[in-house]
Amino acid sequence: MTTDYLVIGSGVAGLTFAVKMAEKFPKRNVVIVTKANEDESNTKYAQGGVAIVSNKEEDSFKKHIKDTLIAGDGLCNEEVVAMVVKEGPDRLEELLLWGANFDVNDAGKFDLGKEGGHSEYRIIHHKDITGYEIERALLHKAHQLENISILPHHFAIDLVTNHHIAYLNSEELRCYGAYVFDQKSGTIFTIKANSTLLASGGIGCVYGHTTNPVIATGDGIAMAYRAKARIQDMEFVQFHPTALYEAKGESSFLISEAVRGFGAYLRNKKGKRFMPDYDERAELASRDIVSQSIDSELKKSGESHVYLDCTHLDMDAFIDHFPNIYKKCLEHHIDIKSDWIPVVPASHYLCGGIKVNKKGKTTIDNLYACGECSRTGLHGANRLASNSLLEALVYAHNIYKHLVKKDHVAFELDIPDWNDEGTTIPEEHILIQHNLKQLQAIMRDYVGIVRSNKRLKRAIKRLDLIYEEVEDLYKESKITTSLCELRNMINVAHLIIRQSLDRTENKGGYYNIDNLK
C-alpha cells in the first residue's frame, strides 16, 4: 500500500494532523493505522481537560508559562513553553469548529477548572470525560473526509528505513513507511509513505499499575528507538497520585486531579490529612510532590493505599461536575457522600520520548512524532496537569504547517516484503504472559516513584534475562500482537532504566535517593 501520509495512532495527536492534511490536500491520501478500535487511545481516557488561557482578565499567558516552568523544574525549553501556551486559544477555536463541546457556566462562558500546579482556573473541560469528547469530535470529522482511511486492528511492527533497503546509502537515516500487521487476517504488509507520523501514545502498561488503557505499550517509542531515532528524558515517568485502588492491580481508574482542585483532602488510614506536612500547597502541589508524599506515607505505614475524602464537599455540584467518577465509585460500593475513596499512585504519563524539534521532526528524515510518544521540551521534568492535550493539538498543527511548505515528491523505490520464513506459530502464549508479569513487577518494585542506583542495576540484570528469552521467541515465532507489545515494552523499560542511571540530580518527577548523598 502507498500513501502520502501515514499516521500511527488514532488519538488527538494523530487525528488532528490527519484532518488538517486531508482538508488542505483533498487529492492526497492519509492512512491512519491503529491497533485496537479506532476510538481506543489515551486521549479517550483524559478526564481533566485542556489547559488554555481563555479568560484574559484574570489569567494570562505569562501565568500559564510560569506555572509550566515551575512544574518542569528547570528542564523545560522556555521557547517551546511560550509557543505552546500562546497557540492554545487558536487550537481551541479549531476544536470548537470541528464540533467539540465544552462545559459553560450560567453566564455562557467556559466553566473553567483548576488543577495541581495551576495558579488560575484555566482548564476547559467536558464534564470529567474531556478526552472522550475531543476524540468523538475528531473521529466524526475524519469520517467526513474521503481521503482519510482508518485501519483499526492493524499493528505497526517496525518503521521502514534505509537499513531495510540494501542499495540505499545506509548513512542517511530516512523513514519510508512501516511494516503493518493485520491482526484479523494475520498478514503483514508494507505501507510506503512520503511522511510518517508517530502518534502512538504512552507507556503506562510497562508498570502494570497504570491509569492508561491496555494499548499503552510504548510501541512508537520502541519502533523509533530500533530505527535509531534519538530518545530523551525517559526517566521522567509521571505517576498520577490518585488512581482508584484495586487489590488486583492492572489498569486503574483515574480519580482526576480536578477532584483535588474541587477541594478533596488526602488522608492516611488514621484519618490524618497529611499533605500540609509536605507542601504548603497541600493537595494542590504538583503531581510529583503529591505522588512522592503518598509513597512516603505508604512506606511509613506499610499500607497499600491512602484515601481521598470528598465527604465535606457540595455533593450536588460534585456529581454534576464528576458524574463519571461518582458512578464508577458507586460501582465499587463507594458512596463518596459518606465513604473515602481508596487511592494509590499509578503510572500515568511519560514526559520524555522521541526527541523532536518545534516542527515535530525527529532525528530521522521524513519521520515525525506528536503527543505523548514525543519529547518536545514542553514538560521538562514534570508535566503540568492538562498540558498534554494542548501539546498534542499544537504540535499536530506545527507538523501540518511544516509539511504544507515541504516539497511533496513520491519515493521511487522498492521496499522488500516482510520475511518470516522459518518461523512457526507460537504455542508459548503462557511464556509471553509470564515474562510480561515479570517485567511489570521489575518496573514497579525497582523503577517506581522513588529509585536507587542499587535497585536500578538489579532491574537491568533481571531485564536482560527477559530480553534474551523474548528476542529468541521473536526470531522463531510468527508475529502476534502480544509478542510485539512485550518486545516494545522491554525496549521502553531498558530506556527508562538506563536514562535513570544517567541522571545524577533529582528533578521534577525523578527521585533517586542516591542523588541526595
Q: Which residues are tagged catalytic?
A: 287
C-alpha span between 462 and 346 (Å, rounded): 22
The values of phi and psi at residue 426, to 5°, are: -70, 135
Please say whether the beta carbons of 14 and 371 come within 8 A.
yes
C-alpha span between 62 and 85 (Å, rounded): 9
Burial class (CB in 10 A: 0-12, 13-18, 19+), 13: buried
Q: Residue 36 corresponds to which cell in the numbers above?
A: 485496537
**Positions of E strands within 219-267:** 231-232, 237-244, 265-267
Please say whether the beta carbons of 375 and 360 come within 8 A.
no
Side by side, which strands form the sheet with 374-375? 231-232, 353-355, 374-375
Cα separation values, 513 from 148, 287, 506, Å: 49, 18, 9
Burial class (CB in 10 A: 0-12, 13-18, 19+), 378: buried
CA atoms within 13 A on the CB side of 68: 31
Computed over its alpha carbons, how large is the radius of gyration of the chain?
22
Q: Residue 259 corresponds to which cell in the numbers above?
A: 477532584
C-alpha span between 77 and 374 (Å, rounded): 14
